Amino acid sequence: MAYTETSSVILGHKSSHSREDWMSQHTWSLIEDRRNLHLKLLETRNVDERADLILQYRRIRKAVYRSTRADRRRWADDIADRAQHAANTGNLKELYRSTKTLVGDNRRKRKPLRSKEGRLIVTSEEQLLRWHQHFEEVFRLSASSTPEALSVSSSPPRLLDINSEPPSDSEVAEAVLSLKTGKAPGFDLITAEMLQADMTFAVDVLTPLIEKIWTAEELPDDWNKGLVITVPKKGDLSQCDNWRGIALLSIPSKVFCRIILDRLSRALEPLLRKEQAGFRLSRSCTDQINTLRIILEQASEWQREIYLTFVDFEKAFDTLKWSSIWSRLLEMGVPPKLVRLLQSIYRKYSCRVVHDGLISEDIAVHAGVRQGCLLSPLLFIVVLDGILLRIFNERRRGIEWGLSSVLEDLDYADDLCLLSHTHADMQAKLNDLRQEAAKTGLKINSRKTQEMRTGVINAAPLLIGTEAVERVQKFTYLGSVVAETGGTEEDVASRIAKARGTFAQLRPVWQSRKLTRRVKLKIFRSNVKSVLLYGCETWKVTKEISRQIQVFVNRCLRRILGIYWPETISNVELLEKCRESPIDHQIKRRKWSWIGHTLRRDSNHIPKQALDWNPQGKRKRGRPRQTWRRTILAEAKDIGLTWSEVKHKAQDRSRWVTTVDALCPS
């Protein structure tokens, strides 16, 4: 209460505008005059008077349009000035917020929802009831399961060395400082900025409170409540299933969760399977994408049969049984005290849906990890890791990986890619995964799960239960397109299309006369080029691919600079004006920086092993196809380095910077 009352007195509350905040009072007066004139016109029956009123109405309508356009231009100029000032002062957060406002992305349009029966719902009240019904079904545990089936008092064979005592003042202070600012508060309306404004006071308040919770294993009421905000995914947005629910939780409760997370992650991280890269330090989507692309390229070259299945779980984070979390943690040796504290976080947890300014009734939650909670990613991958261990420890059904090992899968959180050489092995893995996942509340989504094959003649379908898995020639894996022979060309085409859409959305930025060229280029690099070059470290960059990307970049830069035919400028001069290096140099630098980071990892790191992986098989006759590996060997050869010398130089970070500079001249 002290935080919210003080903030209310000192800071006050931000007023919400029901009208368009960019329209001037003069415009609103004209709109009011137009409305009154329209009413008068409806009441008038005299022909001469009506003719005069119609002329007046047309004049005032034009005045409204002119005034509205002027207001809109003035508002856009003010936003552009704010963005320019933010860029000059280095306030990137305000720069991007102003950019979004200028483009109009902050305006969320109201759209109809469909009821369970398929009827369109348009009123806010009915839509709120529909959301309440939807999330009530999502969070409801099946009657056959019991969330507290496990007794956590039983001692495992070996306990991990994790501190189970209440946290110290320094731990609490560290947790408070780690909170991200600029985030929406939970039910108690306390923000991270409030806690960080006076660290001494925050620690003095939170430490005894957390000690009390630690002893009683009971959370305050506000910490047991979440406000669910709906975020669109893709597909038909009138269907509730195509939205994700994100819970706004109490910020002080995140201090408590951060303390537990730091203690757990240090002990559990070494025990997790190396195939899992999601939510783990120094692992990335690029690692998994490049490993998979190398597997596909090399298998295609050596004519090795490989089956890949991209598994999708139905609402994985919302359906996980709590009992499976507690049992897995105890199985790994987490002290029962910490497990009971985790249970206290979930025991009385409930949430309410926020929609269009309305809040629903409480929804009791009986399954799933808490969306928005710091602990949720770790708890989820710990359970998933246990499922995969039980499946793969019994039989080796993956692809050959080195002399005596196999690679069963590549994972990034709940995005699984299963790998096998034979149809029988892949079918058996799918059957086992379906059975083991069901025990924890996870269900494979047969409609969204897809499979891909390289070098395979067998056309027999894979089955999930009685449903056939859809076979595809390409698949979007972690945001990048992969195909049977690698997929660089397909991914580049997809990236250019996405970047083109992003560039078009930012048209008001490029057309603004208030923003300087420097600011526009900064927005282009952060908003457009980041979309364009996502996953470029995994591309085999040929001359044609480089040309396609450069043509798109040049076209964007010409529009930003306002260069149109018949005015001409050479590409070299264009890049110099924008202080841009050729796109193939930028890709090469990013690729070799990632290679150096990967080569410095330990020998058990899968992305590092992939750099040298070759399957058993026989090459096709004729000129070999260009691959990612061949492009990096050729680039290294250009500066007189062999692959062995590259691996040796990468071990010294400072020497590697010099090597990258030689490989990628500015």
Judge whether 51 lies within some domain: yes
Element at 467 (helix H, strand E): strand 467-468
pLDDT of residue 141: 58
Structure token digits, residue 623: 């000129």
Judge whether 124 lies within some domain: yes
Phi (first) and psi of residue 509, to 5 degrees: -70, -50
The dihedral through the CA atoms of 56, 60, 63, 69 has a sign that is: negative
The verdict on 254 and 301 lying in the same domain is no
User: Facing residues of 53 across strands?
Assistant: none
pLDDT digits (tens, 9 = 90+) for 215-261: 999 999 999 999 999 988 888 889 998 888 889 999 999 999 999 99
* Strand 470-471 relative to strand 450-454, pairing: parallel
Neighbouring C-beta atoms of residue 191, cutoff 10 Å: 20
Structure token digits, residue 428: 């058996």
Judge whether 156 lies within some domain: yes
The verdict on 48 and 35 lying in the same domain is yes
Work out the angle at residue 644's Cα, subtended by the Cα atoms of residues 643 and 645, and round it to the nearest 5 degrees: 90
Judge whether 108 lies within some domain: no
- Residue 464: CATH number of its domain: 3.30.70
pLDDT of residue 90: 75
Structure token digits, residue 124: 């806010």
The verdict on 243 and 326 lying in the same domain is yes
The dihedral through the CA atoms of 413, 416, 420, 424 has a sign that is: positive
As a 3-state breakdown, the chain gives helix, strand, coil percent values, each rounded to 5, of 55, 10, 35
Ramachandran region of residue 356, left (φ > 0), alpha (ψ -120 to 50) or beta?
Answer: left
pLDDT of residue 666: 67
| CB distance 217 to 340 below 8 Å | yes
Owner of token pair 């924008």:
578
| CB distance 377 to 384 below 8 Å | no
Quick one: DSSP state of residue 655? Answer: H
The verdict on 430 and 293 lying in the same domain is yes
- Give the integer Cα–Cα distance in Å for 77 and 523: 17
Single residue among 71, 103, 135 that ends a domain in this structure: 103
- Give the integer Cα–Cα distance in Å for 366 and 351: 11
Q: pTM for the complete prediction?
A: 0.88
pLDDT of residue 568: 84
pLDDT of residue 156: 54
* Strand 463-464 relative to strand 450-454, pairing: unpaired
Judge whether 525 lies within some domain: no
User: Facing residues of 405 across strands?
Assistant: 401
Any residues with CB less than 8 A from the CB of 562 and at least 6 apart, and which? none
The verdict on 371 and 469 lying in the same domain is no
Quick one: DSSP state of residue 444? Answer: B
pLDDT digits (tens, 9 = 90+) for 298-316: 999 999 999 999 999 998 9
Ramachandran region of residue 3, left (φ > 0), alpha (ψ -120 to 50) or beta?
Answer: alpha
Judge whether 596 lies within some domain: no
The verdict on 155 and 77 lying in the same domain is no
Using alpha carbons, select from 409, 475, 425, 464 the residue that is nearest to residue 442: 464
| CB distance 574 to 660 below 8 Å | no
Q: What is the DSSP string of 180-195?
A: PSSPPP-TT---HHHH
Any residues with CB less than 8 A from the CB of 195 and at least 6 apart, and which? 3, 176, 179, 202, 206, 251, 252, 255
Single residue among 467, 483, 499 that ends a domain in this structure: 483
SS3 416: strand
The verdict on 165 and 302 lying in the same domain is no
The verdict on 177 and 61 lying in the same domain is no
User: How many domains is the chain built from?
Assistant: 3
Residue type, 651: Q
pLDDT of residue 515: 82
The low-confidence residues of the chain, meaning pLDDT below 50, are 18, 106-107, 142-154
The verdict on 370 and 409 lying in the same domain is no
Judge whether 211 lies within some domain: yes
Owner of token pair 């449903």:
467
| CB distance 227 to 359 below 8 Å | yes
The verdict on 222 and 150 lying in the same domain is yes
Single residue among 459, 483, 507 that ends a domain in this structure: 483
User: Facing residues of 350 across strands?
Assistant: 225, 364
Judge whether 647 lies within some domain: no
The verdict on 432 and 292 lying in the same domain is yes
Structural domain containing residue 71:
2-8+23-103
pLDDT of residue 41: 87
- Give the integer Cα–Cα distance in Å for 421 and 414: 23
- Give the integer Cα–Cα distance in Å for 529 and 496: 10
The verdict on 227 and 260 lying in the same domain is yes
Structure token digits, residue 586: 């930028």
pLDDT of residue 150: 41
